[in-house]
């Protein structure tokens, strides 16, 4: 479904990604793990069209998208749920969700989609008229995820949904990711929380200093010496 | 009592006009980061196109809004889609773009003003429209009509921002353009629409001003200055703030004018300084 080949990216003169290649098949739940500053967020921003790669290709559903604009990419069915929520804090919860349904095709169905999203996140429905900034951290993450689903994407890129949340809320978020995967949505999850991530994803890539150093099915990675030492602390 | 009532009505009208103009400037700066010093020139263009339509084909100045507003919207849209978009893409960052776009707007100011001067010269005109008073009142009827139009336009614009798909796209782009892009918003198109809408608001204000106050081709800059005061007063980028700030300044202006007309401009700055001391980020600022 998504294929990245030979991708490099830089902020000005500082190169952040070095010759990355990765692949996500339809229906897969793939994780990208690595330490802070490894380049995970940059990779997602490059895939979703916020940033331009310096070299390399990105193919989504058979179409090249490395030069496409962010708004065209979400129209194609690839939704990016950004790091640190990035909610429209001065708009209500309902309006944030409506913005998620902005592409014309999903705008027409926004009411039905919203019912589905409220089913996944019942707490959002209770507070639908409140401003987004009045929500707690966990609720804000739920809203960010709900908003990212409002365009009825075929695939979602999720950046650090567990960041800054209490352990109980993190587990809730991971449960929701599991159920989205069951509904047939292809997922590329970026996480620093390596232990929990390797428990729910099918496959994972390990990113270090802008380079992919390891990849494989999660059960295999959990047993790898490198992962155990560097990320699981055992 | 009649005097108080007249001050309030005229103050509301002037305040409403200031609010339209300032909301327009706020759309251009708050969303698009263009500090458009040529904003007032489009008030002048709105006023003179209305005057020209009135004097040549006797077109009702209220009706002429249906011509001036779309015309100026298209001019604004084109200006953004060509000039400002290009500057934005070539600028290394937003700070550089702000500086460059302001210089470009200065250029626009001189071009607009001099073309107008070639056509209409520098004398003062006024559209004579409904300038009789209603029985018992001191205020000419045209001011009441203009006030009604200001209210209708203000409410319509508020509903547009609050309820429509494009209105929500504009508000979200003002808060976070990158994330709005991730939602599917075409930022370039939203910025051009905001610029066009902002100028159209100025144009509508111009059409109304043409039959309430005397007009000159050099009238633009004074309104730009007032709009800048109002936008800062209301809180940079806040549309609601610009509306409230405009009305406050309009009423203050009429109160001061009633007692001491030469002090009006001083009063603007006094209100400005006092309000900013009390609320440094403006009325609606955060």
CATH (domain of B70): 1.10.3470
pLDDT for position B281: 86
Has residue A233 got a pLDDT over 80? no
Has residue A35 got a pLDDT over 90? no
Has residue A189 got a pLDDT over 70? yes
Among partner residues A79, A90, A98, which is closest to B175 by beta-carbon distance?
A: A90
B181 CB within 8 Å of a chain A CB: yes
With CA atoms as reference, the chain A residue closest to B171 would be A91
Task: Give me the number of domains chain B comprises.
Answer: 1
Judge whether B286 lies within some domain.
Answer: no
| Regions in chain B scoring below 50 on pLDDT | none
Domain A2-77+154-232 has CATH 3.40.50.300: yes
Judge whether B283 lies within some domain.
Answer: no
A213 CB within 8 Å of a chain B CB: no
B95 CB within 8 Å of a chain A CB: no
Are A102 and B175 in contact (CB < 8 Å)?
A: no
φ, ψ (nearest 5 deg) of residue A137: -55, -45
Domain ranges of chain A: 2-77+154-232, 87-152
* Model pLDDT for residues A52-107, shown as the tens digit of each residue: 999 999 999 999 999 999 999 999 999 999 998 999 999 999 999 999 999 999 99
pLDDT for position B239: 84
* Model pLDDT for residues A134-157, shown as the tens digit of each residue: 999 999 999 999 999 999 999 999
pLDDT for position A218: 84
As beta bridge partners, residue A8 has A55
Percent with pLDDT over 90 in chain A: 72
With CA atoms as reference, the chain A residue closest to B179 would be A86
Are B171 and A50 in contact (CB < 8 Å)?
A: no
CA dihedral in degrees (B242, B73, B156, B144; nearest 10)? Answer: 80
CA distance linking residue B21 with residue B200, whole number of Å: 9
A146 CB within 8 Å of a chain B CB: no
Judge whether B82 lies within some domain.
Answer: yes
The two structure tokens encoding residue A198: 């390797």
* Model pLDDT for residues B133-143, shown as the tens digit of each residue: 776 667 888 88
Reported pTM? 0.90
pLDDT for position A161: 93
Check if the beta carbon of residue B129 is closer than 8 Å to that of residue B149. no
CA distance linking residue B279 with residue B286, whole number of Å: 10
ipTM summary value? 0.90
Check if the beta carbon of residue A171 is closer than 8 Å to that of residue A162. no
Check if the beta carbon of residue B49 is closer than 8 Å to that of residue B209. no
The domain in which residue B233 lies consists of: 2-278
pLDDT for position A164: 87
A55-60 and A29-33 as β-strands: parallel, antiparallel, unpaired?
A: unpaired
CA distance linking residue A188 with residue B143, whole number of Å: 61
């Amino acid at each position: 479904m998504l294929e990245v080949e030979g991708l490099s990216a830089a902020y000005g003169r500082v190169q952040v990604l070095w010759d990355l290649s990765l692949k996500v098949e339809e229906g897969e739940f793939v994780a990208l793990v690595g330490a802070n500053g490894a380049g995970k967020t940059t990779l997602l921003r490059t895939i979703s069209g916020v940033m331009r790669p310096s070299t390399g290709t990105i193919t989504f559903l058979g179409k090249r998208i490395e030069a496409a604009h962010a708004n065209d990419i979400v129209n194609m069915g690839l939704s990016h749920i950004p790091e640190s929520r990035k909610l429209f804090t001065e708009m209500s919860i309902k309006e944030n969700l409506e913005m998620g349904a902005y592409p014309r095709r999903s705008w027409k169905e926004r009411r039905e989609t919203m019912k589905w999203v409220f089913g996944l996140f019942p707490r959002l429905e209770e507070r639908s008229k409140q401003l987004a900034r009045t929500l707690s951290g966990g609720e804000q993450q739920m809203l960010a995820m709900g908003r990212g689903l409002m365009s009825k994407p075929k695939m979602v890129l999720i950046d650090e949904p567990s960041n800054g949340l209490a352990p109980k809320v993190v587990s809730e978020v991971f449960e929701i990711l599991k159920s989205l995967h069951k509904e047939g949505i292809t997922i590329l999850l970026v996480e620093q929380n390596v232990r929990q991530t390797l428990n729910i994803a099918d496959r994972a890539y390990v990113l270090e200093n802008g380079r992919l150093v390891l990849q494989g099915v999660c059960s295999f990675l959990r047993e790898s010496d490198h992962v155990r030492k560097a990320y699981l602390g055992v | 009592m009649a005097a108080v009532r007249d001050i309030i009505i005229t103050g509301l009208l002037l305040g409403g006009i200031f609010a339209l103009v300032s909301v327009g400037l706020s759309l251009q700066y708050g969303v698009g980061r263009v500090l458009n010093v040529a904003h007032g020139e489009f008030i002048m263009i709105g006023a003179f196109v209305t005057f020209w339509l009135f004097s040549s084909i006797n077109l009702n100045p209220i009706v002429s809004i249906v011509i001036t507003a779309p015309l100026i919207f298209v001019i604004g849209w084109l200006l953004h889609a060509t000039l400002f978009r290009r500057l934005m893409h070539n600028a290394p960052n937003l700070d550089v773009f702000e500086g460059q776009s302001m210089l470009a707007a200065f250029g626009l100011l001189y071009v607009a003003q001099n073309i107008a001067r070639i056509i209409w010269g520098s004398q003062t005109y006024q559209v004579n429209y409904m300038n009789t008073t209603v029985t018992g009142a001191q205020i000419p009827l045209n001011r009441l009509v203009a006030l009604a139009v200001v209210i209708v336009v203000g409410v319509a614009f508020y509903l547009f921002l609050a309820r429509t798909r494009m209105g929500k796209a504009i508000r979200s782009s003002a808060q976070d353009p990158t994330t709005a892009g991730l939602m599917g918003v075409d930022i370039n198109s939203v910025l051009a629409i905001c610029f066009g809408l902002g100028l159209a608001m100025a144009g509508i204000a111009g059409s109304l001003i043409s039959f309430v106050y005397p007009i000159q081709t050099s009238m633009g800059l004074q309104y730009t200055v007032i709009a800048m005061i109002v936008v800062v007063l209301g809180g940079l980028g806040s549309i609601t703030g610009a509306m409230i700030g405009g009305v406050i300044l309009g009423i203050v202006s009429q109160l001061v004018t009633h007692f001491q007309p030469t002090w009006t401009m001083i009063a603007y700055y006094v209100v400005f300084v006092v309000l900013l001391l009390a609320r440094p980020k403006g009325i609606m600022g955060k």
